[in-house]
Chains A and B, each alone.
Chain A
Amino acid sequence: KAGVTQTPRYLIKTRGQQVTLSCSPISGHRSVSWYQQTPGQGLQFLFEYFSETQRNKGNFPGRFSGRQFSNSRSEMNVSTLELGDSALYLCASSPGQGPSEAFFGQGTRLTVV
């Protein structure tokens, strides 16, 4: 069974630009969650999508948005990039109903210059 796939693995963008990250969950999983990891703030929850609907949202500004497609693949978009957005962005997939472990992808390392 294929794991969670995130693309691209590395990205360098300039301040003010926008970026789109992609996540393909494990087959059969309907929930995709996104997290940001920075040295100072640790792993922080961005949002969760389930069956194409945002089900949970963390405390991030509106520049961070996402969506989920009918095949459960998800994208995350960050507009008007700031230097502080440099981080490892992780997505996790899970079946989506009831308590279960979330499986993470390798992450996308975003550097904003």
Chain B
Amino acid sequence: DQQVKQNSPSLSVQEGRISILNCDYTNSMFDYFLWYKKYPAEGPTFLISISSIKDKNEDGRFTVFLNKSAKHLSLHIVPSQPGDSAVYFCAASDGAGGTSYGKLTFGQGTILTVHP
């Protein structure tokens, strides 16, 4: 039972344009969401997060949108740069009384390629 899904295995974008990565979840108890960037044979690097009490969070070129009713979140990267090429994972956690934020459920990842 995959509770977090990234339905697009890959995305190709031109440098300078917007990259939009999507993520859907099924567990309505999830209340904290994160995006990570990962290169092969390295650990994921944290990009941005959002709490379920918000619908948008921005940090520089990265913006995450959360639509709770649709159980959908997206990561927008504007403008995209060749250095953004990597695998992007969305992850979710369920507070469950404040003890379960240490458990992240990950999507399968989306390979982003930004062409110069």
Contacts and interface: CB of A to CB of B under 8 A. Distances in A.
A99 B32 CA distance: 7
Given A99-B32, A99-B51, A101-B34, A94 B42 contact: no
B41 A109 contact: yes
Interface string B27-43: 00001101010000111
Interface residues of B, number: 28
Chain A: interface size category: 20 to 34
A48 B98 contact: no
Given A42-B108, A42-B109, A43-B89, A101 B46 contact: yes
Contacts of B44: 43, 90, 104
A106 B42 contact: yes
Interface stretch (B17-25, B67-75, B76-84, B99-107): B99-107
Given A42-B106, A42-B108, A96-B102, 12 more contacts: A6-B43, A33-B102, A42-B107, A42-B109, A50-B102, A99-B31, A99-B51, A101-B34, A101-B46, A104-B43, A106-B42, A106-B43
Interface of B: 31-32, 34, 36, 41-46, 49, 51, 89, 91, 93, 95, 98-109
